[in-house]
Amino acid sequence: MGVGLSSTSIIYHIRDLLGMRNKTISGLITDFENEIDLTIRMSDYGSQTFTKAYESGEKKKAINEVLLDGAKYVLGNLDPYRLCVYYHNQNDRDKTEELIRRIILERPQDRKWAYNIWGNIYRNARDIEKAKQTYILSAKEDETFILPVRSMAWLLFEEKEYEEALEYFQKALALNPYENSMDNGAVICHRNLGNLDEAE
């Protein structure tokens, strides 16, 4: 019988020695009488069970469905923004907005992300004024957060509001001078505004 060491186990024991709480996620999947159960246990969140009955030949599909439900549960608790992105990519606006509201109320450290994706939803729906408002809210949460600044720059550009777009392209470049797409956007804005000297 041997003893195995890994960086994960060493970190776990060091945290324990220092009195730091270790957080864990574990899961158990069972198959009994054509029913798949997945029980997930998470530190600070208790346990949750997901169940899917299946017919002959559909076991793999049932397993995939409970695993997806489990993944949504874990993400919803640990990183709800990522779950928002998932629902947004699935075109499920109701679930996306429900999570956004939850993040805004319960996770102040993630509000900038929530407002940014909400701006994307409004932008995709062509509700330009609400998109602008939510991008502004996102940027106010963290003045160094470049995503809403970039999004606002391109939104204004699409709306042919070149002077305002130029301001946002320049703000983005001030945050990160290596953003080539922002530099390109600024040049095109200058050209469209007739500032040919600045466009070069």
What is the full DSSP assignment across 148-160?
HHHHHHHHHHHTT
The pLDDT profile of the chain, 200 residues, written as one tens digit per residue, is 444 556 665 665 666 666 666 677 888 999 999 999 999 898 888 889 999 999 999 999 999 999 999 988 888 888 888 899 899 999 999 999 999 999 999 999 999 999 999 999 999 999 999 999 999 999 999 999 999 999 999 999 999 999 999 999 999 999 999 989 999 999 999 999 998 776 56
Confidence (pLDDT) at 4: 53
pLDDT at 134: 97
**Can you give the pLDDT at residue 16?**
65
Q: Does domain 79-142 bear CATH number 3.50.70?
A: no
pLDDT of residue 6: 62
Chain centre to alpha carbon of residue 162: 29
Asked if 79-142 and 143-200 have one fold, the answer is yes
Q: Which residues contact 41 (CB under 8 A, 6 or more apart)?
A: 24, 25, 26, 27, 47
What pLDDT score does 1 carry? 41
Angle subtended by helix axes 180-192 and 162-175, to nearest 10? 150
- Residue 96 CA to residue 102 CA, distance in Å, equals 10
Q: Which CATH superfamily is domain 143-200 in?
A: Tetratricopeptide repeat domain (1.25.40.10)
Q: How far apart are CA 134 and CA 123, in angstroms?
A: 10
Give the distance, in angstroms, between the CA of residue 186 and the centroid of all CA atoms in the same chain.
27
Residues facing residue 46 across a β-bridge? 42
End-to-end CA separation in angstroms for the chain: 71
pLDDT at 177: 93
Q: Residue 92 carries which DSSP code?
A: -
Query: What SS3 state is found at 31?
Result: strand
Q: What is the pLDDT of residue 2?
A: 45
| Spans of all domains in the chain | 22-78, 79-142, 143-200
Query: Tokens standing for 148?
Result: 């809403």
Q: Among 140, 171, 141, 176, which residue's Cα sits nearest to residue 156?
A: 171
